[in-house]
A and B are shown apart, each in its own frame.
Chain A
């Protein structure tokens, strides 16, 4: 079996008396979509924050491409290959769609210390940004102010910015949230192809999407992974049904 691209080893995080992550060990292998599901407050975002560097775990390690990145900050982990999207869009609202994507391309280029040439005139950055925007379907909105985008378009832009990074793995926190069924279906088809570029750790509430996409699913409840398996295994697991899926009816 191929070495995992990303693995966590016993990640534990406490907020006071609350254990938000309780010894979470999981991995993401090349070419796969590994979905993490769980009820609200299960600790999915907390897990992602620890993987991406926004939160320090109390215990445990994070490995990316065989390298221990636990001590690295968010920016260094991004440079090491993490491409992350946010549950709540984190975009420069005053800037244009193109500028947001170009920021990603600029980060990827690692050359922000240029004080004179026009950013928008940098052909390489611009080509990369426009290409990624076209892929998510925002080609017609390059110069729109991000604040004027619909919720769905902001979600698309989140994905486009991650694409500009050409990451070794995508970490996505509820990319379908609030998209509506059309939007979810479109994004589902998109992610289905995206896994060929880089594997995806996908936190998602939309069960149709998860069951359609995931190679493996981990179920997180109260900070603990209670099961990891294929979609079929997870759907038939009595424990999972009881703890989580049952609530969905």
Chain B
């Protein structure tokens, strides 16, 4: 049993360590694999803000992941095809600048989260899950039919997006960017959970009627949480597209939404580092078992089953002595 703070640091140090080792040993593929884990972790950290803090079981987070991905894909597509991006009467140039792409991804996904949240947060339980799922499917089918941007086949991007002062073509540098963003978002998430807003949100998850009775609106608290959550997952989507240099409608698929939930549950719902642990485990299994058998998901399913039945705090809950709610 270790204090959760040290566990958090150990997990992050471990990720960084693997990447540094792979760089020294000249193993670019391992760096890419680690980057993949970091990006999936970021997406799941975003989901955990809605799921862990707000108690919102969203089966539609792929919407934000996909929007982030397409924000990157579309902006870069217009650069590589030398065409302007026309939105109604306005015509803007595409972009391969990461900060521009990230901000676009964040703006689009928070806007979508606001809309979806407004329509779905009046419901709860199974209805909420179904509505978010339905939104996910809507975006998925829209992307499939959007031939301008590759339709079902998706978009391949040949240019690598740039970040001022860095050579993003070098896997280790791209890893560094993703890792720094993950750390930043974890820091923000940690502060959020302890903030006045976090206190109110935490209570809104457990006893909404109490929150109303002290004069606050659980609906608004959850809506804001959902928007922040969507924005983070959207940012992860942009990075994911950059990593693969490819976007396709599968980024919007409900399987992806489900996978994000699995990552959070594996690691520990509502635990800061839970989604990171979940993502690392997921990518490790995918890589190690995926090479041996096509049925590696069965093992993932077994692990998930054991966790759900015997360790409701996830892996982090098993390892850390802190119980939820100790400030």
Contacts and interface: CB of A to CB of B under 8 A. Distances in A.
Interface of A: 52-54, 73-76, 78-79, 84, 86, 90-96, 99-100, 102-104, 106-108, 110-120, 122, 125, 143, 145, 161, 164-165
B196 A117 contact: yes
Given A99-B203, A112-B216, A165-B214, 19 more contacts: A74-B213, A90-B210, A91-B207, A92-B210, A93-B206, A96-B326, A100-B203, A106-B216, A112-B196, A112-B221, A113-B224, A114-B195, A114-B197, A115-B197, A118-B191, A118-B194, A119-B195, A119-B199, A125-B196
A53 B215 CA distance: 11
Nearest to B270: A94
Interface size bracket, B side: 20 to 34
A107 B192 CA distance: 17
B126 interface: no
Contacts of A100: 203
Contacts of A108: 214-215
B323 interface: yes
B215 A114 contact: no
Given A99-B327, A114-B196, A115-B197, A107 B214 contact: yes
A84 B215 CA distance: 11
B212 interface: yes
B209 interface: yes
Interface of B: 191-192, 194-200, 202-203, 206-207, 209-217, 221, 224, 323-327
A74 B209 CA distance: 9
A78 B210 CA distance: 11
A92 B207 contact: yes
Contact of A96 (B209, B213, B224, B327): B327
Contact of A74 (B191, B212, B221): B212
Contacts of B213: 52, 74-75, 78, 84, 86, 90
Contacts of A52: 213
A114 B200 CA distance: 10
A111 B203 contact: no
A202 B224 CA distance: 36
B212 A103 contact: no
B216 A75 contact: yes
A95 B327 CA distance: 8
Contact of B206 (A92, A114, A117, A118): A92
Count chain A CB atoms within 10 A of each CB in B202, B209, B325 and give the residue with the most.
B325
B85 to A, nearest CB: 33
Contacts of B209: 54, 74, 86, 90
B215 A122 contact: no
Contact of A107 (B215, B224, B324, B325): B215
A73 B327 CA distance: 30
Query: Of residues B192, B209, B212, B327, which shows the largest number of chain A Cβ atoms within 10 Å of its Cβ?
Result: B212
Given A90-B207, A95-B203, A112-B221, A78 B196 contact: no
B325 A96 contact: yes
A86 B326 CA distance: 24
29 contacts: A53-B212, A74-B209, A78-B213, A79-B215, A90-B213, A92-B203, A92-B207, A93-B206, A94-B202, A94-B323, A94-B325, A95-B203, A95-B325, A99-B199, A104-B214, A106-B199, A106-B214, A107-B200, A112-B216, A113-B197, A114-B196, A115-B191, A115-B195, A118-B195, A119-B195, A119-B199, A125-B196, A143-B327, A165-B215
Most chain-B CB neighbours within 10 Å: which of A52, A100, A107, A164?
A: A107
Nearest to A107: B214
Given A75-B215, A95-B325, A116 B191 contact: yes
Interface centre among B192, B324, B327 (most CB of A within 10 A): B327
A120 B327 contact: yes
Nearest to A54: B209
Given A92-B202, A93-B206, A96-B325, A117 B214 contact: no
Candidate in B194, B196, B217 with the most chain A CB atoms within 10 angstroms: B196
A92 B224 CA distance: 20
A179 B183 CA distance: 48
A48 to B, nearest CB: 11
A103 B197 CA distance: 10
A117 to B, nearest CB: 6
Nearest to B195: A115
